[in-house]
């Protein structure tokens, strides 16, 4: 089955790869391609879903209170501006992808603080309007007016948020913070529901049981529980109720039912965004495979190339701006190539070289080829350095880094019975001659010591560390034999005198001279 990308996605088209990859390619081939209108439709759905997420997250008092704290921290230089807002990094004109230049300019910082101050003012207005909305004494006309004012304030806050352009990391933190608070409320409500189930009643019955002794006795008669069991249920209910009230009063600063409704809206918006992103990715996986095929046999397996390209595709979906009028495939190609090439640079070598250094190496090779075309058969480090504007020592260093490592297990010869590592001298290895000499020395020393008494032999072995981990002092040897150090000295002197007088003297002198 050939597609517009010229790739055959039928099973068996990639025979050199395993079955899961063939299955993946076959399934991918069944997904229809997107038209330009389809791309725009999905991009709009993603944009709308993100806007719904932002409208919920940034209308929550919990989030707005956190922004007020961040504003204070920014004013006191406790956090950097780039921790809050997206700042475009620039390089220094050379190969410094990893060395970004700080752009916390005074103008951008001032703008961010002004917008955060405006959000803080709107937050105070929002809290006042929210309290009015919850009043049960409002007429229908007054309620409509308050609701309109509430929506206006929320819209103003969202506009300020969009003008600040918070970092994705900060947005995720604020979203997760909201979810965690919602999870605490749900856990407390589950505990209350559990109490209701145990007494076979409602929350109202639980409240009556807590306040009224008569209700307590009534539930006890109905359930047959002991007073201790009902006291435990009361304690669990009271604790859960207090947790919910504390969250409403101090953390979320809104009623629990409003928080749960906001979380339901968040869940729906996240589902819509993720579904649209998934559809966009699935419809463009052909492009990933098409680009990955061009980078085969460069150090990464084909499935790994597809994986890295797919990660680049997902980044493209995240950052795509349909308003600019470009086709998504045109925009995504750059991200896919970047993902694959960086993965090859990062993982394709046995010894990892940083990506920025790989780019420098590639630039050096291009310069070398250019000099060769101009007539220099073998450009020197000085020639390359002049062309690239760097010292010759730096060029030599880069050339050394660019060399590929050789495996010690690489076969040598036609019969391949030897490996490259067999030809390299091991300077730490002991030569056979040294081993033989050492063994002979040990044998002759042991033979000489056998001419002494067992006690004399033991003293000399300990004194000079023969066959011992280390030598010993006279004091230590004396403690081992339960005699004085002077007695050990006498035994040592007598043993040495015997060795000098015995026939093994010349042998021992020869050993000393050879060492």
Query: Which pLDDT belongs to residue 97?
Result: 42
Q: Which domains does the chain have, with CATH numbers?
A: 37-88+102-269 (1.10.601.10), 349-424 (1.10.10.10), 440-514 (1.10.10.10)
Please tell me the distance from the alpha carbon of residue 187 to that of residue 235, in angstroms, as a whole number: 16
Contact 430, 395 (CB under 8 A): no
Long-range CB contacts (< 8 A, 24+ apart) of 163-172?
163/115, 164/84, 164/85, 164/112, 164/115, 164/116, 165/85, 165/86, 166/84, 166/85, 166/86, 167/82, 167/83, 167/84, 167/85, 167/86, 168/86, 170/83, 170/84, 171/54, 171/57
296-323 confidence digits (pLDDT tens): 877 788 888 999 999 999 999 999 988 9
Classify strands 411-412 and 418-419 as parallel, antiparallel or unpaired: antiparallel
Q: In the Cβ-directed half-sphere of 417, how many Cα atoms lie within 13 Å? A: 1
Residue 2 — φ and ψ, nearest 5°? -85, 140
Quickly count: other Cβ atoms within 10 Å of residue 39's Cβ. Answer: 20
Query: Which pLDDT belongs to residue 413?
Result: 65
Encode 296-310: b = buried (16+ Cβ within 10 Å), e = exposed.
eeeebebebbbbbbb
Does the pTM of the predicted model rise above 0.75? no
Please tell me the distance from the alpha carbon of residue 116 to that of residue 160, in angstroms, as a whole number: 8
Please tell me the distance from the alpha carbon of residue 377 to that of residue 315, in angstroms, as a whole number: 44
Query: Which pLDDT belongs to residue 419?
Result: 72
Contact 392, 381 (CB under 8 A): yes
224-245 confidence digits (pLDDT tens): 888 898 889 989 999 999 999 9
178-208 confidence digits (pLDDT tens): 999 999 999 999 999 999 998 888 888 888 8
Cα separations (Å) of 232 from 109, 238, 373?
Answer: 55, 10, 88
């Amino acid at each position: 089955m050939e597609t517009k990308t010229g790739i055959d996605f039928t099973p068996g088209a990639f025979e050199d790869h395993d079955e899961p990859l063939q299955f993946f390619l076959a399934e991918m081939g069944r997904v229809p391609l997107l038209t330009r209108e389809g791309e725009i439709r999905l991009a709009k759905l993603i944009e709308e879903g993100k806007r719904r997420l932002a409208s919920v997250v940034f209308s929550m008092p919990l989030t707005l209170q956190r922004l007020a704290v961040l504003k204070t921290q920014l004013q006191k230089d406790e956090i950097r501006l780039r921790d809050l807002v997206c700042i475009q990094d620039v390089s220094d004109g050379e190969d410094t992808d990893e060395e970004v230049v700080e752009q916390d300019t005074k103008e951008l910082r001032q703008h961010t603080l002004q917008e955060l101050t405006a959000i803080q003012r709107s937050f105070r207005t929002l809290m006042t309007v929210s309290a009015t909305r919850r009043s049960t004494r409002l007429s229908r006309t007054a309620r409509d007016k308050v609701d309109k004012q509430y929506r206006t304030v929320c819209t103003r806050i969202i506009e300020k948020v969009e003008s600040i352009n918070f970092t994705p990391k900060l947005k995720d933190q604020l979203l997760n913070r909201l979810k965690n608070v919602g999870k605490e409320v749900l856990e407390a409500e589950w505990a209350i529901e559990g109490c209701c189930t145990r007494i076979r009643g409602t929350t109202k019955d639980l409240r009556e049981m807590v306040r009224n002794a008569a209700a307590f006795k009534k539930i006890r008669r109905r359930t047959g529980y002991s007073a201790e069991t009902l006291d435990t249920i009361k304690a669990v209910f009271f604790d859960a109720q207090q947790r919910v009230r504390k969250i409403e009063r101090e953390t979320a600063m809104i009623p629990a039912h409003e928080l749960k409704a906001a979380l339901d809206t968040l869940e729906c918006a996240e589902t819509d965004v993720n579904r649209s992103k998934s559809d966009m990715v699935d419809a463009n996986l052909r492009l990933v495979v098409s680009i990955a095929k061009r980078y085969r046999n460069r150090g990464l397996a084909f499935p790994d190339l597809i994986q890295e390209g797919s990660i680049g595709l997902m980044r493209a979906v995240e950052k795509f701006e349909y308003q600019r009028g470009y086709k998504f495939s045109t925009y995504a190609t750059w991200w896919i190539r970047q993902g694959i090439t960086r993965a090859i640079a990062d993982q394709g070598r046995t010894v990892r070289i940083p990506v920025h250094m790989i780019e420098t190496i590639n630039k050096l090779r291009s310069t070398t080829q250019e000099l060769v075309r101009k007539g220099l058969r073998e450009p020197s480090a000085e020639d390359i350095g002049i062309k690239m504007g760097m010292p010759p020592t730096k060029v030599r260093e880069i050339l050394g880094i660019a060399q590929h490592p050789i495996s010690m297990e690489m076969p040598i010869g036609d019969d391949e019975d030897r490996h490259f590592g067999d030809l390299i001298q091991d300077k730490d290895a002991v030569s056979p001659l040294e081993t033989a000499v050492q063994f002979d020395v040990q044998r002759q020393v042991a033979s000489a010591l056998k001419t002494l008494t067992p006690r004399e032999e033991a003293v000399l072995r300990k004194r000079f560390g023969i066959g011992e981990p280390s030598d010993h002092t006279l004091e230590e040897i004396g403690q081992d034999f339960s005699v004085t150090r002077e007695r050990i000295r006498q035994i040592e002197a007598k043993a040495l005198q015997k060795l000098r007088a015995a026939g093994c003297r010349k042998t021992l002198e020869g050993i000393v001279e050879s060492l």
